[in-house]
Amino acid sequence: MEKSNNYLAEEKVGTLMRKYAVPCIISLVVAALYNIVDQIFIANADYLGSYGNAANTVVFPLTVIALAIAVMIGDGCCAFVSLSLGRQKSGDAETGMGNSVVLSVLSGIVLCALYLLFQDAIVRAFGGTVNRETFDYSKEYFFYITLGIPFYMFGQAMNPIIRSDGSPKFAMASTLAGAAANIILDPIFIFAFKWGMMGAAVATVAGQIITAALAVWYLFHTKSVKLTRSGFSLSGRIIGKMIPLGICSFLSQISLVAAMAAINNMIRTYGAEHAIFSQAQYAQIPMAVVGIVMKFFQIVISIVVGMAAGCIPIVGFNIGAGKKDRVKRLFTLLLVCEAAVGAAALLIVELFPRQLIAIFGAANESAYYTDFAVKAFRIYLCMMIFACVNKAAFIFLQAMGRAAASTMLSMVREIVFGVGFALLLPRWFGLDGVLYSMPLSDILTFLISVAVIVSTYRRLSERRIGDNML
């Protein structure tokens, strides 16, 4: 007998938020740590150092592309399944879950093949030619990471789907298991075996395989949604409803790739004009440092997105059931919590930037490395409170089924502002212009988000909100 999800419309919203958000936060933070752990061990290996760090920064956007496709499928399915269950349409929920499994497998294989075919061109496009050492390390790391792309995408796509089935703790545990393997294997492969960038990548892929294997096991033990053979037959009607609900997640990730590509290339261009970083032995420092700063930001955003994404099944079910007051209370609680996360993170980067960069091998580098890192942390991340609130508003709209509004806002933030300012500001401020692009984007986006938040509250006060969501 299938387990009912009716408790989503009955328990206190604060209790539900803790139940779903905490495992989701842990899952996303741990997923973010895959790449960050690699970078920490690489930075502290004296035979890799900042060259390896810069290579990691070059390859990182390419894993984000894979993540973007995976979360589009996974988050779209999560929202679709939750809305379907809230409307008592279990058949649609079953087909949606089966279709998402097929889509994640096929897309992982296709992306892996494309990466292998165009390896050199891709590495060059993301700034890997800052110097010869960085290019060679980038190619080595990229090749082995690419081999794990199908496993990575499958595991990441299944994570939100498992949450939507009412098992957030299992979703968390599967991600933790893979990350633990990565953390254990990284020092063995990098320091003991001296495998360098290959060792870091192989450790990461091993963890991803473990997470994917656990997801496969879960598919045979689902709770609220029963997978059937017919559910794996692709349905244009279901995919057409499911994918738009995940398109915001896709665009928020893929637009981040566009921003990182712009930033990496501006760093390469204007670093070559800098008095210090134009010298060959220091040329990789700005790219390595900005990559580290972005990784710290990724941890913060993982908490923020985890908190908001954890609410998707709750919001979707209550929207489907017409429980608008519960959705409104949850939105208020979410905004307060997201602002608090941003404030805490802001204090850390403003007060302890030297301690943060020390984790990434500063002791093995020149003073220029630390000095630029301190500046980058304090400038690039100075508007994190706004960034956190912005992200929460976008994801909440997605959970409500307002995919078009969520997508538009995400595109404005990441493409119009994120990429636009990254390309324009360095023309007047040089290398520092890259650092200014982030806070300026967040300020302008926040002004738009205020209007969105007010509009959302008004929408939740309307008499009927469940109509035409699917």
Tokens representing residue 241 in the block: 């409803």
Which pLDDT belongs to residue 172? 84
Contacts of 163 (CB under 8 A, 6+ apart): 20, 23, 24, 78, 171, 310, 312, 313
Instruction: Tell me the C-alpha distance between 361 and 292, whole Å.
Output: 11
Q: What is the DSSP letter of 281?
A: G
pLDDT in tens, the chain (470 residues): 345 567 777 788 888 888 888 887 887 787 777 768 888 899 888 888 888 888 888 898 888 899 889 989 998 888 888 778 777 777 888 888 899 999 999 999 999 999 999 999 999 988 888 888 889 999 999 999 999 999 999 999 998 888 878 788 898 899 889 989 999 999 999 999 999 999 999 999 999 999 999 999 999 888 878 788 878 888 888 999 888 888 767 876 777 788 888 898 899 899 989 989 988 888 889 988 998 898 889 889 889 988 888 887 788 788 777 788 888 888 889 999 999 999 999 999 999 999 999 888 777 788 999 999 999 999 999 999 999 999 888 888 877 777 777 778 878 888 899 899 999 999 999 999 999 999 999 999 999 989 888 888 888 887 554 444 43
Instruction: Tell me the C-alpha distance between 247 and 237, whole Å.
Output: 16
Q: Is the sign of the CA dihedral 43, 48, 54, 58 positive or negative?
A: negative
Q: Which residues of 225-248 are buried (b: 16+ CB within 10 A; e: fewer)?
A: bebeeebeeebeebbebbbbbbbb
Angle between helix axes 285-309 and 384-399 (nearest 10 degrees) is 40
Which pLDDT belongs to residue 121? 93
Which pLDDT belongs to residue 469? 41
CB 101 within 8 A of CB 166: no
Which pLDDT belongs to residue 102? 95
Tokens representing residue 160 in the block: 């939100």
How many helices (DSSP H) and strands (DSSP E) are in the chain?
19, 0
Angle between helix axes 384-399 and 312-320 (nearest 10 degrees) is 40
| Nearest C-alpha neighbor of 147 from the set 45, 27, 62 | 62
Tokens representing residue 268 in the block: 């390469």
Which pLDDT belongs to residue 2? 44
CB 55 within 8 A of CB 137: yes
Which pLDDT belongs to residue 295? 83
| Nearest C-alpha neighbor of 214 from the set 164, 166, 179 | 179
Instruction: Tell me the C-alpha distance between 47 and 364, whole Å.
Output: 10
284 φψ region: left (φ > 0), alpha (ψ -120 to 50), beta (else):
alpha
Which pLDDT belongs to residue 464? 52
> Is 427 strand, coil or helix?
helix
Which pLDDT belongs to residue 224? 78
Residue 337 to residues 19, 187, 300, 340: CA-CA distances in angstroms?
15, 36, 13, 5
Instruction: Tell me the C-alpha distance between 385 and 364, whole Å.
Output: 33
Q: How many CB atoms are closer than 10 A to CB 405?
A: 18
Instruction: Tell me the C-alpha distance between 16 and 314, whole Å.
Output: 7
Which pLDDT belongs to residue 182? 93
